[in-house]
Amino acid sequence: MYNDNVRNRIIEISKKHESLQNLLQMLSREAIIYYCACNSEKSPVKVMLNKNEYTVIATSKEVLTEAKQYLDINNIIEIDAISIIRSILRTENKGAIINLGDESQLILDTDMLKLLYREIVVMDLYMKGGAYVIQNDKDYLLVEAKGKKLFNIVLTEDDGKELKELLNQKGNVIFKCWKEILPYFVATKCVALIYNFSKKDMVYVGEPYLGWLYDSPFQ
């Protein structure tokens, strides 16, 4: 028996035929770290499935080691969920396979991976109690897409500086709590927060998440 609570929860959810949303929310809360196999070139190991390439990640070293019959494992690295999924989404891969060859195996195509990524990002934003924004005087940076206003947010100051340069904007990159961000969001009639604007891992965060973020006790 593996000492891997996330693996066991995946199996449990599958056997109970619970919804995809329950599965993704569980992973966003409990699978904070993933294990990634690297080849001799120090790149994440990928496998072909139905002529599509998937990156292999695992919820424990034990499960990943058991997959060695399918993989060229030169090294195993530990990486946080946001970093590895962001990296996968920014490649041309079809998606990710979690726990390859195990009873708990999950195949997540790009669309499903984006749904998981949003849940993980929202959980991180909740735990941080706010986000980095670009502020110019009393205004925050907004963008428009299809006539709808979106409020730009990022998770780190460096990401904010990169976004500021990309959009050629003035102002300061500053951390703001949700009780400062969301009243402005409502007043300017935004429809969603937008994380990592213009990137392949761009995420929209709207209802029902906004009320939950506003009530975060970590601000």
Residue 97 shares a structural domain with residue 187: no
Residue 94 shares a structural domain with residue 143: no
Cα four-point dihedral sign 59, 158, 155, 216: positive
Residue 80 shares a structural domain with residue 182: no
Q: Is the pLDDT of residue 72 over 90?
A: no
Nearest to 97 by CA among 61, 53, 42, 51: 53
**How far does Cα 111 stand from its chain's mean position?**
12
Residue 77 shares a structural domain with residue 154: no
Q: Whole-prediction pTM value? A: 0.93
Residue 15 shares a structural domain with residue 35: yes
Picking from 66, 94, 123, the residue at the C-terminal end of a domain is 123
Residue 80 shares a structural domain with residue 153: no
- In the predicted model, what is the mean pLDDT of residues 177-205? 96
What are 43-51's contacts with CB under 8 Å, separation 24+?
A: 44/84, 44/87, 45/71, 45/72, 45/73, 46/93, 47/71, 47/97, 47/100, 49/94, 49/97, 49/107
Picking from 98, 123, 148, the residue at the C-terminal end of a domain is 123
Write the CB contacts of 23 (distance below 8 Å, at least 6 apart in sequence). 10, 13, 106
Summarize the chain as % helix, strand, coil (round to 5): 40, 30, 30
Residue 194 shares a structural domain with residue 171: yes
Q: Which of 1-5, 73-77, 193-197, 202-206 has the lowest mean pLDDT?
A: 1-5
Write the CB contacts of 49 (distance below 8 Å, at least 6 apart in sequence). 94, 97, 107
Please report the pLDDT score of residue 121 as a whole number: 97
Tokens of 25: 């929310």
Average pLDDT, the chain: 93
Range of the domain at 172: 129-214
Portion of the chain with pLDDT greater than 70, in percent: 98
pLDDT tens digit sequence for 147-174: 899 999 999 999 999 999 999 999 999 9
- In the predicted model, what is the mean pLDDT of residues 35-62? 89
In this prediction, residue 146 has a pLDDT band, given cuts at 50, 70 and 90, of confident
Residue 72 lies in a domain: yes
Please report the pLDDT score of residue 1 as a whole number: 46
Picking from 79, 101, 123, the residue at the C-terminal end of a domain is 123
Residue 63 shares a structural domain with residue 141: no
Residue 141 shares a structural domain with residue 183: yes
Q: What CATH number is given to the structural domain containing 156?
A: 3.40.1350.90
Residue 175 lies in a domain: yes
Q: Is the pLDDT of residue 26 over 90?
A: yes
Residue 58 lies in a domain: yes
Residue type at 108?
Answer: L
Residue 20 lies in a domain: yes
Residue 57 shares a structural domain with residue 111: yes
Residue 51 shares a structural domain with residue 142: no
Portion of the chain with pLDDT greater than 90, in percent: 84
Ranges assigned E (strand) in 84-129: 95-98, 106-109
In this prediction, residue 38 has a pLDDT band, given cuts at 50, 70 and 90, of confident
Cα four-point dihedral sign 43, 60, 79, 17: positive
For the chain, the domain total comes to 2
CA distance 87 to 90: 5
- In the predicted model, what is the mean pLDDT of residues 2-25? 91
- In the predicted model, what is the mean pLDDT of residues 105-119? 96
Q: Is the pLDDT of residue 5 over 80?
A: yes
Report whether 19 contacts 53 (CB < 8 A). Answer: no
Residue 219 lies in a domain: no
- In the predicted model, what is the mean pLDDT of residues 114-131? 97
- In the predicted model, what is the mean pLDDT of residues 18-34? 95
Residue 30 shares a structural domain with residue 111: yes
